Structure 1
Amino acid sequence: MTPVALDDFVHKLATVSGEAILPFFRTSLGVEDKSRGRAFDPVTAADRAAEQVMRYLIKQHFPDHGIIGEEFGDEHRDAAYVWALDPIDGTKSFIAGMPAWGTLIGLLKEGTPVYGMMHQPFIRERFFGDGATARYQGPAGERLLHARDCKRLEDAILFTTSPLLMDGEDRAAFLRVEEKVRLSRYGGDCYAYCMVAAGLVDLVIETGLQDHDVIALVPIIEGAGGIVTDWEGRPATQGGRVVAAGSRAVHEAALDILNGRAAG
């Protein structure tokens, strides 16, 4: 797979998934709760339609590749190349009519994220990267993405989807970081990570992520000069507790507080 062919193919996946999703957005679509008694975890026909069309194209063009998907599970996860698909990251925003959601398309090579895209078809924005560079395409044109080199946690802008998604111990650690930053905001899901790559947000802290929630975002943020790890500083490919930052200084300061190495 050449870089040009990969780029073209991922853009094709973004286009067809967007075409599957948009007819459902801001309509009276049915919502299924797949939480089984836990916190509300919605899924819609739009999620399933988008993942189905992406899976079809991947199998048609790359039958030896594996797939990790939120709605239809994993196939050939031990393949050299594995796609990670989250058709609507931010389904709760989607069903509320808010545009803070996106389609995540990631590619692993031997377990390492090598390409990622976040596509927001309603706003017509695409953020994509290969770990070395990252780009934006949208109504504002096309440009390279560069994370902000924020030097101090006290000057940082922090996002999380919601502290209520964290358990008590993790929420307390998060709040200690939140007390230090200049500004914190909630919501955003995948969009907050792309704003790190765009140099508008300095830090995202989350817990409980799945691998398909984060694989696509790693090459975008790293391509823009940022860093993504778990709370222990290890690769975040498996999801779980994740910290994304535009600068190493902010990333290290956040990890120190989260792990009790510095006072909040």
Structure 2
Amino acid sequence: MNHACPPACLALAHAMADAAAQVIRPHFRKRIAIDAKADSSPVTVADRDAESTMRRMIEAHFPDHGIRGEEFGSCRTDAEWVWVLDPIDGTKSFVSGSLAFGTQIALLHLGEPVLGIINQPITGERWVGTGGMAMLGGEAIRTSERTTLDQAILYTSALEQFDQPRHDRFSALAASVRFTRLSHDCYAAGLLALGGVDLLVESDVFDYDILPQLPIVQAAGGVVTDWDGEPLKDARSYATVLMAANGDLHRAALDVLCRT
């Protein structure tokens, strides 16, 4: 990361995470309406109201900053500073009563993520990545030191997002690791930064899904690329994403993904 996150922006990001949590918590494990978006993915009043709250806070504090959000689109995307918001990453988990969801916030400077936050509104767990440091609850964290696939724990969010060729590549990797788990969305990225998960493989995801995770995983010691080993650049969507706990494991996973 070539540019530090300004302290005022970091303070705002924490305040936004707190405010979004206050909006989300009253709806958790309640029988709220579940609407379908154009892509058939679910959305609730909690998603919409949490993003609206965060957007209002940005507008009040930094009206010249850009915003890209999952629920209400983009504005001022050519600005020097751009916020990327996912009010509830893991809405399917949220509406199911599972804790495997979180609010995600990223701040980009000239397209480069300089701050990432994953906040679990119910448990209060908050991952923060900025300035080359990754923290959970204010304590520094590091990724796993496991370097071989046969000892690695692999997560992915949604198999239905894999087309057949990518499903085959993923299956080959899954056959090489210790075990595989499904779902968890952003929570899995937090667990990877914490050292419990070793590999996170995704397909057909968006900027608000991934960009908040990059500063956290990378500052914790992880490596993030696409499935061909190319670095992820600022984009609105990503066909493939590979997150690994370290370089050795990243190379081993790429070897399987690229030869399938």
Give distance in 2, aligned partners of 1:2 and 1:163: 35
Could you tell me which of 28, 32, 52 is aligned with 1:29?
32
Residue 68 of structure 1: how far off its partner (Å): 0.7
The answer to whether structure 1 residue 121 and structure 2 residue 121 are counterparts is: yes
Q: Deviation of residue 2 (structure 1)?
A: 6.2
Partner residue, 1:79: 79
- Relative to structure 1, is the Cα distance of residues 25 and 249 closer, same or farther in structure 2, using a 3 angstrom cutoff? same
2:214: which partner in 1?
A: 218
Deviations 1:72-121 (A, max 9, x none): 00111111110000000000001111110000000110111110000001
Which secondary structure state, in structure 2, belongs to the residue aligned with residue 259 of structure 1?
helix
Specify the alignment match of 2:88 in structure 1: 88
Give the equivalent residue in structure 2 for 1:203.
199
- 1:1-264 equivalences in 2 (<5 Å): 3-36=6-39, 40-130=40-130, 132-137=132-137, 142-236=138-232, 237-238=234-235, 239-260=238-259
Q: 235-244 or 246-255, which moves further after superposition? A: 235-244
Q: CA separation in 2, counterparts of 1:251 and 1:99? A: 28
What is the percent sequence identity of the aligned residues?
A: 41
Which whole-Å CA distance do the structure 2 matches of 1:11 and 1:5 have between them?
A: 10
Offset at 1:205? 0.4
Contact 1:131 1:221 (C-alpha < 8 Å) held by counterparts: no
Q: Which runs of 5+ in 1 are unaligned?
A: none
CA RMSD of aligned residues (A): 1.4
Distance (whole Å) between structure 2 residues aligned to residue 157 and residue 136 of structure 1: 20
Structure 2: runs of 5 or more not aligned: none
Quick check: 4-13 or 243-252, which moved more? Answer: 4-13
The Cα shift of 1:8 comes to: 1.5
Matched position secondary structure for 2:119: strand
CA contact under 8 A between 1:35 and 1:42: conserved in structure 2?
no
Which segment drifts farther, 94-103 or 143-152?
143-152
Distance 2:52 2:108 in 1: 19
CA contact (8 A) 1:131 1:220 kept: no
How far is 1:162 from its partner?
Answer: 2.6
Distance 1:111 1:234 in 2: 17
The AA in structure 1 aligned to 2:247 is R
What displacement does 1:186 show?
0.8
Give the 3-state SS of the residue equivalent to 1:100 in structure 2: coil
* Aligned partners of 1:32 and 1:43 also within 8 Å: yes
- Is the CA contact (8 Å cut-off) linking 2:127 and 2:135 kept in structure 1? yes
Whether the 8 Å CA contact 1:197–1:220 is kept in 2: the answer is yes
* Aligned length in residues: 254
TM-score by length of 2: 0.94
- Paired residue secondary structure (2:201): strand
